[in-house]
Amino acid sequence: MMKGYALGLVESLGYVGAVEAADVCMKAANVSLIDCEIVTGGLVTIKISGEVGAVKAAIDAAEAAVRKVGTLVSTHVIPRPSTELYKILNRQEESPVDAIQKPEELQDRQEQEEAPVEAVQGSGNTEYTGSSTEYEQKSEEVLRAMKVVELRTLARQIPHMPIDRNDIKFAKKEELIDAILSCYRKEEC
């Protein structure tokens, strides 16, 4: 930034207030929008720059407009900021070029993500060749390793489930496992 320039900040709760602030700033004075940063907790900060008087006027206008929306958190103008400050403002965690992955890396990542899903899905559809106790023990191990959400999804997919479909969302893990195993024993599922 050149000498005589300022940095203006408007922080609002929610994206709508930030868009309103940016719009008013751009219309009120000859300023440039540097960034609109979405912070956690619903806070959104817009950063503008320009000549000191223009930035002060733009921030004052934005403050009044965002107060009407009711989401203003704070405003601040830093006249003639240090050049070191712009290193912080222009820092990005990952450049867009670095975010693009090579096709091999993307394929490897997809294979790694799909592998556990195939193992769980494949275990329920395997042919049984041993005694019934081996099958139940293996199924029970797989079922106990599953999360309750996964068990509920599986229970909804089984056609003749002993638990009513409306009661599945309230069933506990043990109830779901027992019901699924009893359905496997009946062999009509």
pLDDT given at position 109: 54
Please report, in angstroms and rounded to a whole number, the separation of the first and last CA atoms in the chain: 70
* Fold classification of 5-92 (topology level): Alpha-Beta Plaits (3.30.70)
State the Cα–Cα distance between residues 18 and 36, nearest whole angstrom.
8
Is pTM beyond 0.85? Reply is no
Number of C-alpha atoms within 13 angstroms, CB side, residue 141? 7
Residues recorded for the chain: 189
Residue 38: φ, ψ to 5°: -95, 115
Q: Are 50 and 31 in contact (CB under 8 A)?
A: yes
pLDDT tier, 9 (very low <50, low <70, confident <90, very high otherwise): very high
Domain boundaries, the chain: 5-92, 128-189
Q: Which of 60, 82, 79 is nearest to 7 (CA)?
A: 79
Q: Distance between CA 177 and CA 170 in Å, rounded?
A: 13
Q: Could you tell me which residue, 122 or 65, shows the higher pLDDT?
A: 65
Digit-coded pLDDT (tens) for 93-126: 444 444 444 455 555 555 555 544 444 444 444 4
Instruction: Kindly tell me if the per-residue pLDDT of 66 is higher than 50.
Output: yes
Do 35 and 89 form a contact (C-beta atoms < 8 A)?
yes
pLDDT at 6: 92
pLDDT, tens digit (0-9, with 9 covering 90-100), for 155-184: 888 877 888 888 888 888 898 888 888 887
